[in-house]
Structure 1
Amino acid sequence: MGAKTALLVYMNTGVSGAPRMTGNADSERTRALVRRLYPGWEVAGASGCELGDATYPVEGTAYIGSFPGTDITCDRHWMGDYPTRPPQHLIDGSVGRRMVVHWMHSVVDFFAFAVW
């Protein structure tokens, strides 16, 4: 089974600043983020979960939360062999913010980390 992650994070702070994800995600901002990243997809609300349990959701599912200064998406749909070539709309979504990608699949010794 191994360890797996598929994270895309937008932050207002620099990489050296820790993301602030205290409390619950802002539901309205989260829905707006989903509409922007997944145009045309069905949005279903969910109760909160721990980040450690959400980093590699089942195919067709994404865990997304918008917190003050930090938006986080856990979705292996974007995961690929070239982390420096994500879909353009993901890069466009980071304008004025830091974008961090963290993909890992320990079974096949794959790890990718990218920062914009």
Structure 2
Amino acid sequence: MGSKSAVVVFAEAEPRRAFRDAGLTDHDKSKRLAEITLGATAQETGLLTLDLAVWPDSGIVCAASLPECEVVCSRELARYRPSELTEWILRLANGRGAYAVFMHSAEDWAAFAVWSDGALVRSLSMNPSSGVMEDMGEHLPFEFPFWEGERSVRNEPNYALPFHPIDFGNEALREFFGFVLEGREDELCFDLEEFEVPAFRAVSQA
């Protein structure tokens, strides 16, 4: 499967903690969140473990309203320029912070963005064919090892970027949410298969 993600999380506090302390999912609020994302009435199709929910099938939105955060996953949210989502993000954030991580290993593309206090504060998107497509705001601490050469690409002298975007994207997942799709897990990572997210699709109109 590789690393594929299209996940946005809204949280008052650190989303990594919110995932670890997650309580029961509010089904009604989750459905409303899915309907806002779909722009249509939604029906639940079942539950997906988080490793599958972060990249659901086209037309499916995985949404979970938890006590301390809300999670939305949809391929249609993935943007080469995450800043394009700002209006939608701020409408749903209601004053909370928002965190997005998008990536697709087939094209070695990764992007992430952070919104806080009603504004986009950091956005980065890159792949080797297009280079850096968006780079807004100051580097966050977890980025430093990448930009300072500690995670440089080895054995690929002609690689177009200073590090692999997929490695970077997985580190963003670890930093924000406490899990990785590929790479080294640490003691703070949780098991994605133990976390289930409701999946929804738009109701067909007769």
Comparing both structures, which one devotes a greater share of its residues to helix?
A: 2
Q: What is residue 36 of structure 1 aligned with on the other side?
A: 36
Take 1:110 and 1:66, find their aligned partners in 2: how far apart are those partners?
A: 28
Q: Offset at 1:33?
A: 1.9
- Structure 1 unmatched runs, 5+: none
Q: Does 1:97 align with 2:87?
A: no
Q: Work out whether residues 24 and 67 of structure 2, in 8 Å CA contact, stay in contact via their aligned partners in 1.
A: no
**Offset from partner CA, 1:18-77 (integer Å, 9 cap, x none):** 2236354111111222233333x1311243331112111111111111000110011010
Take 1:54 and 1:97, find their aligned partners in 2: how far apart are those partners?
A: 22
Q: What is residue 9 of structure 1 aligned with on the other side?
A: 9
Q: Work out whether residues 37 and 89 of structure 1, in 8 Å CA contact, stay in contact via their aligned partners in 2.
A: no
The 1:87–1:97 alpha-carbon spacing in structure 2 relative to 1, beyond 3 Å, is closer
**Offset from partner CA, 1:62-113 (integer Å, 9 cap, x none):** 1111000110011010111101221522322113101001001111111111
Q: Work out whether residues 24 and 48 of structure 1, in 8 Å CA contact, stay in contact via their aligned partners in 2.
A: no
The 1:36–1:42 alpha-carbon spacing in structure 2 relative to 1, beyond 3 Å, is closer
The 1:84–1:53 alpha-carbon spacing in structure 2 relative to 1, beyond 3 Å, is same
Q: What is residue 78 of structure 1 aligned with on the other side?
A: 77
Q: Which deviates more from structure 2 when the two are superposed, residues 2-11 or residues 82-91?
A: 82-91
Q: What is residue 114 of structure 1 aligned with on the other side?
A: 113
Output the amino acid matched with 1:74: C
| TM-score, structure 1 as length reference | 0.84
Take 2:91 and 2:57, find their aligned partners in 1: how far apart are those partners?
A: 26
Flag the structure with larger Rg.
2
| TM-score, structure 2 as length reference | 0.50
Take 2:46 and 2:38, find their aligned partners in 1: how far apart are those partners?
A: 20
Take 1:51 and 1:45, find their aligned partners in 2: how far apart are those partners?
A: 16
Q: Identity rate of aligned residues, in percent? A: 25
What's the Cα RMSD here? 1.9
- Structure 2 unmatched runs, 5+: 116-206
Take 1:97 and 1:29, find their aligned partners in 2: how far apart are those partners?
A: 16
Aligned residues: 114
Q: What is residue 59 of structure 1 aligned with on the other side?
A: 58
Take 1:31 and 1:58, find their aligned partners in 2: how far apart are those partners?
A: 17
